[in-house]
Amino acid sequence: MQQTTSTNDTTALSIALIEDDIVDYHWIGGMLKRIPDCNFSFQWAKSFEEGETLLASQTFDIAFIDNAIGIRSGIDIVRNLGGRSAATPMVMLTGSGTHTLDCEAMDAGVYDFLEKGSISTEELERSIRYTLNTRQLEQELQEAKNAAIKADHAKAHFLAHLSHDLRTPLNTIAGFSEMISRNQENLPDSRQYATQILSSAKHLEDMIEDLLALTNFDLQKTESIPRHYFLKALIEEAQALTQGPAQDRKVQIKPLYSVDDLEIFGDRKAIKRILVNLISVSIKHSHQGGTIFVACGQDAKGVSILVSDDGTGIDQHTIKEVINAGPYAADAYTTSSNGIGLSLSIVHQYVLMHSGKMLVDSKIDGGTVVEIFFPHEAENSDVI
């Protein structure tokens, strides 16, 4: 095996040549050197066995393989290495091309077919460029296909949880409604049942709100009307909306303001949904009698909102799943007791809609801190 390197550049194009004729070796190498702006490293294998071993053990940007290597055919190397699925894209060289041989080589998985008797420097350069571009397109298509398959699996997983999580509050509503119809004489019990029905209905309403948001994200139909708002007012609204569940678990919600008139730029509905979801998640996973802090502040770059609790926590794998898997992530942080695993995923999607950032720091049985960052925008916007 012989190696020729035309440059010391570590980004040089790596080329392998499987060719048993030393004259053709020098001829191909000479044409490569004449290609303008072509920096390359060049390895030559001069037998079938040597070439197959070289391509099986190393990866190159491109490999040129002679069809006739001694008594063996270069097409067998292509087939043995897996054709288009091989680590190195391959181009076939032949002394005298025929349509049948061309088709056989292409069926085996080569990217191009060159006849050595008529090849020119320009044609060699074209073949290299075509092969590399085609290979890149194939890889991008495969990545897109893998992403689509992953998304389909995520949606299937999501729908499997959906039926169960919708059924739970519906069963509660149906069960307590039946008890009320049979227990009309006992007013205190009926009031208690009605409270349970109202709580379950509110839970269903929250789930439907998240499902609608999820659908809009998926269809890219989420509209944003960004303006400046007083953050304290939005936090107070979110606190009021979550006060009922907090009282049921005897959880305190304590806002901490650096300044009372802190402004935030964004879509009002989205920001309030972020706050409600974060506080709701903290309530669900806080211990009885726990405390949730909602803090906010700003610097020269933007506004930060921090929601922390001392509850059950979330493992790092689930955090990565929520952040990376998109709106269909199976978020165990909310699935473990109530909900269908949407809360943090929906928050993350809304944050991305505002070009913001979301950080989650949590420990199992050690509580969770979620920090949201919104960049400053439109200094001359009205404040509401």
* CATH code of residue 222: 3.30.565.10
- Residues 190, 333, single domain; the answer is yes
- Residues 100, 155, single domain; the answer is no
CA angle 151, 152, 158 (to 5 degrees): 90
Section 151-160 average pLDDT? 68
Number of domains in the chain: 2
List, for residues 100-139, the tens digit of each pLDDT value.
Answer: 888 899 999 999 999 888 889 999 999 999 999 999 999 9
* Angle at which helices 268-284 and 343-353 cross, to 10°: 150
Is 137 among the domain residues? no
- Residues 286, 355, single domain; the answer is yes
Of the residues 82, 98, 119, the one at which a domain ends: 119
Is 128 among the domain residues? no
Task: Kindly give, in sequence order, each residue whose CB lies less than 8 Å from that of residue 137, ignoring residues fewer than 6 positions away.
Answer: none
Is 11 among the domain residues? yes
Collapsing DSSP to helix, strand or coil, 118 comes out as coil
Strand duo 263-267 + 226-230: pairing: antiparallel
- Residues 104, 159, single domain; the answer is no
More confident residue, 262 or 326: 262
Q: Which range marks the domain in which residue 8 is found?
A: 2-119
- Residues 45, 189, single domain; the answer is no
Is 127 among the domain residues? no
- Residues 99, 218, single domain; the answer is no
Is the pLDDT assigned to residue 309 strictly greater than 60? yes
- Residues 173, 114, single domain; the answer is no
Q: From CA 41, how far away is CA 62, in angstroms rounded?
A: 11
Q: From CA 1, how far away is CA 220, in angstroms rounded?
A: 55
* CATH code of residue 63: 3.40.50.2300
- Residues 224, 93, single domain; the answer is no
**What are the structure tokens assigned to 52, written together?**
């197959």
pLDDT at 381: 42
